[in-house]
Amino acid sequence: MVQSNEIEAEPITSVLIVSHNSAASLRRCLTSIEGSIPRQQVEVIVVDNGSTDASPHLDTEFPNATFLRLPRYFGFTKAANIGARTAKGDYLLFLSPAAEIEPDTISRLASYLASDPDAVAVCPLLVDESGQTASSPRALPDCDSIASAWRSGRASFAPMPIDLSATAVAVDYPQLEALLVRKQFVRGMNYLDERYGESWSDAELCYRIRSAGRTILLLPQVRVVLHPDNRQAPGNEAEVSADSAVGASVFISKRKGFLAGLKFRLGAALYSLGQAFLLKDPGFQFSRLSKILSGQKIDGSH
């Protein structure tokens, strides 16, 4: 018998998809990844965050992907860490299940990152189905803009201007719909801080990269379609809003100090109390207030 001396090569890039009740989007996303060239250099990890739809059963359709099924919803941050710690590649591609990539997307991102030692992360331009820009990187928010966004319930900040004709543009805060990061850097920061639940761990990652004097580059010529995505974190509105407030206070405390983070959290609690006294959905406000004061995250932990 002739024995093969070939050793299966380790993947270069690990694609990390955190999914919850998004079977149709996830199927489309995984189908696009399967067309990647060269496919053998790509590892695909799907962390199913307690889905109740058909998502956990897509492993039969995509046997080349690794599915990690969580028993309940743990929030994005913890789920992403589970996948990241499992990943074998030198690079981690955080990818939304709503994203659809081209066959050369991963290789182009990885090649550019490998060629620039000052860059820790690269991202494509996110476009809609018609080719128009769907989501742009933003400046890292300050305390006032975080407070305003939290009160309005919309974490939308002013986009940074992008030269679409450029090869690469330095950016501050791309979201994790499609972001390729050196795994060594993520491991060096002991992965994402699990004091975050659903929100703000993406801002933390970008802040840590910038604080290290390194760069995040957007490659306008590499484009990824981001389809409409109406997924929401499970739980009631008060739980989601409180999780965002608790995460924002952690982010602010890391940038401005403990007292600044505490001030934000107490301000969020007082805002909820004031809205309750004004009879603006008092049931919601008191529920949100109690969760903010207790530091409750989306998964119920503190």
Which of residues 167, 201, 226 is at a domain's end?
226
Same domain, 210 and 247: no
Contact 249, 146 (CB under 8 A): no
Residue type (1 letter), 43:
E
Q: Is 104 helix (H, G, I), strand (E, B) or coil?
A: coil
Query: 4 lies in a domain?
Result: no
Longest dimension (CA), the chain: 82
Q: What is the mean pLDDT of residues 64-68?
A: 97
Same domain, 133 and 245: no
Query: 299 lies in a domain?
Result: no
CA distance 44 to 35: 12
Instruction: Name which of 27-41, 56-70, 219-233 the model is least confident about.
Output: 219-233
Query: 266 lies in a domain?
Result: yes
Same domain, 177 and 207: yes
Task: Tell me: pLDDT of 1 over 60.
Answer: no
Sequence-separated (6 or more) residues with CB below 8 Å from residue 118: 214, 215
Task: Tell me: pLDDT of 155 over 70.
Answer: no
Query: 242 lies in a domain?
Result: yes
Which residues span the domain enclosing 110? 13-226
Q: Give pLDDT tens digits for 103-138.
A: 999 999 999 999 999 999 999 999 999 999 888 889
Same domain, 158 and 276: no
Contact 104, 37 (CB under 8 A): yes
Same domain, 178 and 279: no
Same domain, 156 and 249: no
Q: Give pLDDT tens digits for 206-256.
A: 999 999 999 999 999 999 999 987 666 676 899 999 999 999 999 999 999
Same domain, 288 and 206: no
Q: What is the CATH number of the domain that holds 145?
A: 3.90.550.10
Token pair recorded at residue 53: 């739809």
Task: Tell me: pLDDT of 180 over 80.
Answer: yes
For 101, half-sphere exposure in the C-beta direction (CA atoms, 13 angstrom radius) is: 31
CA distance 222 to 10: 25
> Hunting for tokens 């996830």 — which residue is that?
26
DSSP category for residue 194: T
pLDDT at residue 6, rounded to an integer:
44
Same domain, 105 and 134: yes
Same domain, 101 and 188: yes
Query: 8 lies in a domain?
Result: no
CA distance 208 to 109: 21
Contact 252, 260 (CB under 8 A): yes
Query: 5 lies in a domain?
Result: no
DSSP category for residue 170: E
Q: How many other C-beta atoms are found inside a 10 Å radius of the C-beta of residue 149?
A: 16
Same domain, 186 and 162: yes
Which of residues 172, 198, 226 is at a domain's end?
226
Which of residues 226, 246, 278 is at a domain's end?
226
Query: 2 lies in a domain?
Result: no
Give the strand pairing for 215-226 and 99-100. Answer: antiparallel
Same domain, 170 and 28: yes
Same domain, 213 and 117: yes
- How many distinct structural domains can be found in the chain? 2
